[in-house]
Amino acid sequence: MAGKKLKLNKLTKQEEDIIVRRSTELPFTGEYNGFFKEGIYVCRRCNTPLYLSRNKFRSACGWPSFDEEIKGRVKQIQDPDGSRIEIRCATCGAHLGHVFEGEHITDKNVRHCVNSISLKFIPKEELKFETIVLGGGCFWCTESVFLMLPGVLFVSPGYAGGKTENPDYYKVSAGDTGHAEVVKVDYDPKQITFSSLLNIFFSMHDPTTPNRQGADAGSQYRSIILCTSQKQLKEAKKFIPKMQKNFPDPIVTELKMLDKFYPAEDEHKNFYARNKVHPYCTLVISPKLDKIRKKFLK
């Protein structure tokens, strides 16, 4: 039986020049140069998701730049003259631009230089995804772990689990708001399952120590799962007893439905990426990331 024919969007002549005939738009003229809203970038010709907004960075090169693609969605082809490496949509073959390495602009040391006209942006509020809120100690650490995972679209540090309205970092740190430091994880269940997220969650912290993770002590550092659906709650209730065999002491993770999530202040967002030389990052977060990579991201 023949496979289903790929549906392609109709292109303008200008779009065909770049996407089909592999031309290049003029620098600093593209729609997405200097554009940094939350969402995903899809192929303009076939709508395949290609890049997440969190992997877009300012390169000052004149074209949208990304230091990571969605796994398996972009293919690389050596130019005939061997001078550059072209990048194309792995689904329909649409020309995107070129990829460069060794420029040391970001830690990943890769720049996907993409024509704006090859892309379409879909804002976060128009996407279909599922959300879970998790707390396992300092949110600087939990955020950095979940940002690594394929299938995770957005990660936001914040406060949840308590009763105080509009908490801030200093109020939560005082320990009397009832809130925990958490991360809101928006994920595509087609790419990563809820049980996989829970498995990584229990592997990245100690769920048997009440109100403590390492040197961080207080109820704001407690282990907590806040579900956004009854389906998640039911699955988590079944999952936790299965995890107990991995720990000599009882799991004390709090499990309940999410009431309200309060986003953290801007200085706490993407903290690890912005503060690699911070002692907490070098001594605590970096080793934990290495451990998670070796165990789950081979």
Catalytic residues: 138
Determine the Cα–Cα distance for residues 292 and 207; give it in Å rounded to an integer.
Answer: 16
Cα 201 to chain centroid, rounded: 15
d(Cα 203, Cα 97) in Å, to the nearest integer? Answer: 38
φ, ψ (nearest 5 deg) of residue 119 = -120, 160
DSSP letter assigned to residue 282: I
Sort 203 into a burial class: Cβ within 10 Å, 0-12 / 13-18 / 19+.
Answer: middle
Take residue 5 and report the two structure tokens written for it: 């024919």
CA distance linking residue 25 with residue 257, whole number of Å: 49
Q: Give the C-alpha separation, 33 to 17, whole Å.
A: 19
| Nearest in space to 71 (alpha carbons), one of 86, 98, 46, 52 | 52
β-pairing verdict for 85-89 and 74-78:
antiparallel
